[in-house]
Amino acid sequence: MRKKIVAGNWKMNLDYNEGVSLFSEIVNMVKDERKGDQLAVICAPFIHLNSLAKLGGTDVAIGAQNIHDKESGAYTGEISAKMVKSVGVEYVILGHSERRQYQAESDELLASKTKIALANDLKPIFCIGETLDERNNGSYFEVLKKQLVHGIFSLTEEDFRQIVIAYEPVWAIGTGLTASPEQAQDIHAFIRSEIEANYGFNVADDTTILYGGSCNPTNAASLFAQKDIDGGLIGGASLKSRDFTDIIKALNS
Ligand SMILES: O=C[C@H](O)COP(=O)(O)O
């Protein structure tokens, strides 16, 4: 059975003290809301990871927001999968549209990063999504399929089973525009059908597919009620403990 996950992506926000303080609040609040095998994850900037991993316990898992695609070496300013794993990180966001756009990360680079993450026992939260132009010109199914095929569909079944997918329409990120529950369900069902075509029904049925893009306490329940939406990847609303916890609550409604 697939896991329900609400993952916060703090992006480039919060200094060290602010991060520890927000995280401590989140851990305390999530303890009372999280049910069964539901999982809360916080994907924080690198400077926070070591401390947060020690504070998170079993209630909140920790994720990084990026890793390099090489094991180690002369890559000034970069962080490896092994480094983040060594401080207790379990997840890593890969393929976020902000990195595809601002760091020009290609599908091929992301395929390498995915492999190195898995080799170091990190679970990728692999993001895919279309731009507004791609939505308007009707090419979005093709765009999403290409991101899946080039990014993660060459993995073995065993490796693929470690992947969490996040569908994040670029036009909905940080804009206040959310995909309607029906629009999001339509895409999630498409993603699941593509997984089924590649890996079979059982793998598709077990894969957690998150929605991301202006998800908040008001719209979360209607999104999570869709049969192929297994939780969310939350940006802005993960910077407020009450909002983030309310979104976790929405998994239960
Ligand atoms: O990784 C999270 C997404 O980019 C969504 O961000 P947002 O909730 O601020 O729109």
pLDDT tens by residue, 194-212:
999 999 999 999 999 999 9
104 or 178, higher pLDDT = 104
- pLDDT at residue number 35: 67
Tell me: pLDDT of 33 over 80: no
Phi then psi dihedrals of residue 169, to 5 deg: -60, 125
* Contact status, residue 43 vs residue 65, Cβ threshold 8 Å: yes
pTM of the model: 0.97
Integer-rounded Cα radius of gyration of the chain:
17
198's CB contacts (< 8 A; 6+ apart) are: 153
The count of C-alpha atoms lying within 13 angstroms of the C-alpha of 245, restricted to the half-sphere facing its C-beta, is 16
Tell me: pLDDT of 235 over 90: yes
Residue with tokens 């997840």: 91
Task: Find out whether 4 is annotated in a ligand binding site.
Answer: no
- pLDDT at residue number 91: 98
Ligand 1 pocket: which of 9, 12, 98, 210 to mutate (most atoms <8 Å of CB)? 9
- CA angle (224, 168, 165) in 5-degree steps: 75
34 or 215, higher pLDDT = 215
Tell me: pLDDT of 172 over 80: yes
- pLDDT at residue number 250: 94
Q: Is 168 a catalytic residue?
A: yes
Tell me: pLDDT of 87 over 80: yes
**pLDDT confidence tier of residue 1, bands split at 50, 70 and 90:** confident
**pLDDT confidence tier of residue 111, bands split at 50, 70 and 90:** very high
* Contact status, residue 70 vs residue 146, Cβ threshold 8 Å: no
What does the alpha-carbon distance between residue 134 and residue 147 come to, in Å, rounded to a whole number? 13
* Contact status, residue 128 vs residue 147, Cβ threshold 8 Å: yes
Amino acid at site 232? G
Q: Which of 48, 96, 98, 105 is catalytic?
A: 96
Nearest CA to ligand 1 atom 6: 235
**pLDDT confidence tier of residue 253, bands split at 50, 70 and 90:** confident
Q: Secondary structure of the chain in the HEC alphabet?
A: CCCCEEEEECCCCCCHHHHHHHHHHHHHHHHHHCCCCCEEEEECCHHHHHHHHHHHCCCEEEEECCCCCCCCCCCCCCCCHHHHHHCCCCEEEECCHHHHHHCCCCHHHHHHHHHHHHHCCCEEEEEECCCHHHHHCCCHHHHHHHHHHHHCCCCCHHHHCCCEEEECCHHHCCCCCCCCHHHHHHHHHHHHHHHHHHHCHHHHHHCCEEEECCCCCCCHHHHHCCCCCCEEEECHHHHCHHHHHHHHHHHHC
Phi then psi dihedrals of residue 9, to 5 deg: -115, 105
Reported ipTM: the value is: 0.99
Measured from CB, residues less than 6 Å from any atom of ligand 1 are 9, 96, 168, 173-174, 212-215, 233-237
- pLDDT at residue number 34: 66
Average pLDDT of every residue of the chain:
95
Tens digit of each residue's pLDDT (9 = 90 or more) over 35-81? 667 789 999 999 999 999 999 777 899 999 999 999 999 999 999 99
Q: Is 142 a catalytic residue?
A: no
Q: Hey, what domains does the chain have and what are their CATH numbers?
A: 5-252 (3.20.20.70)
What does the alpha-carbon distance between residue 249 and residue 34 come to, in Å, rounded to a whole number? 7
